Amino acid sequence: MATYIQKLGIVLKNYTDGLGHLVFTNVCLHCNKELVAQERYLCWICWEGLERTYFELQKDPSILDKLFWNRVEIKHTCALYVYGKGKVSQSLIRALKYDFKAPLGIFLGEHMAQQLLHHPMSKVEAVLPVPIHPKKKFARGYNQSELLARGLSKEWGVPVLKGLVHKRKHTNSQTTNDRFGRWDNVQNMFAASSQIRNFSHVLIVDDVITTGATLESLARAIKAANPKVQISLLSFAFTK
């Protein structure tokens, strides 16, 4: 009897999933082709089209490591994919930030965690998403970096630190600023709570790293509250 009920449940689930797929057609976030039932967010061709950095496999310092040299002390850095105009990674980040696709953020965080399961940064004590100003969070409905952090937390079993660092001011988008403009825009942007002293190694998580100005400012604020803490940086993508 129990086996029959289980089989019936599977049949009903397949039926409702198929019906839902017909009523609410899912399309690839990059090429807009219809997804089959087993695909999520991207078709398999576009998933294969994500350009990897392979920073996590390099023995010598990567260009991302070097980005923070003589700026702020960082333990490990990693970004999984290359970000750029027309790339698959851009379509994913755009959907996450502007198309109200919160579940996508958690999914990508889980994906990042699985790719880095054996990397040293998976052993951090806690994950700290880059804070956004309450005005921006209200408009967007969520903090995309926090969603990525939740996915990482789920896979790695480490806590997400919320409220230990806050954003002091609401800034304009960084997308139209050059490197110096970005740095002027984020100086003294963050303030860290003294509770950060309870941790010896934290991982800052963001969606895309461009010049690193925001992450540098955040790392400096954390170091000001706890000079002994080790900081690692992880993002989904990196603009070369």
Q: What are the DSSP calls for the chain, one per residue?
A: -HHHHHHHHHHHHHHHHHHHHHHS--B-TTT-PBPPTT--SS-HHHHHHS-B--GGG-SSPPHHHHHTTTT---S-EEEEEE--TTSHHHHHHHHHHHS--HHHHHHHHHHHHHHTTTSGGGG-SEEEEPP--HHHHHHHSS-HHHHHHHHHHHHH---B--SSEEE-S----STT--HHHHHHHHTT-EEE-GGGGG-SEEEEEEEEESSSHHHHHHHHHHHHH-TT-EEEEEEEEE--
For the chain, residues with pLDDT lower than 50 are: 11-24, 174
Looking at the DSSP bridge assignments, the partners of residue 234 are 78, 205
Average confidence score pLDDT of the chain: 88
CB 225 within 8 A of CB 194: yes
User: 37-64 burial, b if ≥16 CB within 10 A, otherwise e?
Assistant: eebebbbeebeeebeebebbeeeeebeb
Q: What is the pLDDT of residue 91?
A: 98
pLDDT of residue 14: 45
pTM over 0.85: no
Tell me phi and psi for residue 126, to 5 degrees. Answer: -160, 160
- Residue-wise pLDDT for 97-152, tens only, equals 999 999 999 999 999 999 999 999 999 999 999 999 888 888 899 999 999 999 99
- CATH 3.40.50 domain span(s) along the chain: 51-238
In terms of C-beta density within 10 A (0-12 exposed, 13-18 middle, 19 or more buried), how is residue 119 classed?
A: middle
Contact present, 182 and 210 (Cβ < 8 Å): yes
pLDDT of residue 133: 84
CATH class of 51-238: alpha beta
Q: pLDDT at position 209, please? A: 97
| pLDDT at res. 208 | 97
Q: How far apart are CA 146 and CA 90, in angstroms?
A: 19
